Structure 1
Amino acid sequence: MAITMYQADRNFVSPANDAALYSAILNNTSGVLANRGNNFALTIDGLVVSIDTGQAVIGGRLIEITALESVTVPANSSGSICLVVDLTKTNTVTGNAGDTTYSVAVNQVYTSAVIGSLTQDDLNDGGFIYELPLASFVSTATSVTLTNTTGYLNDTGWISVSLKAGAIFGSNGYAQYRVRNGHVFIEFYNINPYKATNQNQAFTIPSAFAPSKNLNYFAMVSNSNGGTTGMHARLGTIANTGLIYFNYDGTYNNEYGSGQLDYPLDK
């Protein structure tokens, strides 16, 4: 027969079959699972970057670091600290399948400092290598600077961010963001970008959740100025650095009572 069902009685399900299913369930996206271990927290000692415990899914394959992993970054370079799935490698088997002494050394996943552009093949359609960045780096002869770039596959919950100096009115202004299923949600309350830097800056979210290119948008906001209230569309920009700012509107003086916006995570 030319048709089969892998999840059938007595049938054999290979790792590739299993991964293809999970990848489809996750909309063929790869990323870090939030609140697993220490979320791959990164620490630096000279040119050595240590990666703490955590879990990620790459091409439908569950990856886990259970103890600190270390990567040595080349001096005077730039690139990304990555989790790498490399299906060109062969895993090492000890013992016989079914025996209590049977074990597998998985060589097809490792950590690496990748220089230049990343390889991100479709592992479920003939590809072999996928490099998932946890952070970008720039190194000197003796030290490393990291910028986190990882995105989460599941829900981070609401996370508060600080408003720019002066960008608040009233006594309870705030801004917060949330990443859920590859989508970024942002909401704010009682902000006044007109009183902040360049009369337009509001707040900044982590660059890992910023769009890959500057994104212009209209946010529906509830404005209040001298007794004038109502819902209005306001043009703003989410920079690829994570900075969020609004175009100044003299009519309402940019006093924003509340607002929400959202966009798909594209990196």
Structure 2
Amino acid sequence: MEKQVHSILEQVDGLLPLALGYAGQFCLALVVLFVGWKLVNAVTSATGRMMEASHIEPTLRGFLLSVIGLFLKALLLISVASMVGIATTSFVAVLGAAGLAVGMALQGSLANFAGGVLILLFRPFKVGDSITAGGSSGTVTSIEMFRTVLLDANNEIIFVPNGTLSNNIVINSSESERLLASVSLLMDYNDDIDKARALLLGLTENDAQVLKDPGPSVSFLPKPANIQVTLGFWCAPGAVSGLVAKYSESSIKVLQKEGYRLGVTARSAA
């Protein structure tokens, strides 16, 4: 019995330095984890302030800060795990393989996500702008990470993938201070074109929404059976649709009143 107790004490004596060594490593790992976690939070906060000073979109700023924070914390946890003797090589390999598989499965979504990052970073348009892209036109109501939401003239909501917007031509009408709008009608060859010019220009003479410099103009284009007369005028982007509708009706009325023989009308805005 005495020999067994002596043997146990010898084993304890042999394990004690090893246990103390592991305890030291574990305490050091806890200190590194605590200090590192504080540093990661400080770095993330400083990066957030820099992004805010650079006027980066809040949506993109929040996402990038989350990614940076998660990445730094993952590196910290892996470093702490290696300090206490946990093998991390296979763990990192598994994470890499899983990330590759997920990336291949979500190629389309990742393309839209990358497009959203580019849109929020370079800001080719913003909420409230009127744009035309990907065969859709409307006012931007929100820019999300994977899609942009438009509201068209019929009050219909359109969801456009950000990948489409970032890889195709986007026309932003709101970026211009003024746009050229036009109203076109078809008149007979026997009608007086000089009188038509005076009548159409008279419609816009006292309209405060129509810019005076450059001023309105009337042009004529010969057609096989008639003449196309076009009233062109410059205005603010938000006034285009209302003025086109207004002068489409008033042009017909004023020319018909003077006895002009009109054909099919056409309207446009550039």
Q: Give the shorter-chain TM-score range.
A: under 0.3
More strand by share: 1
More helix by share: 2
Please report the TM-score for the alignment, with normalisation by the length of structure 1.
0.23
Which one has a bigger Cα radius of gyration?
A: 2
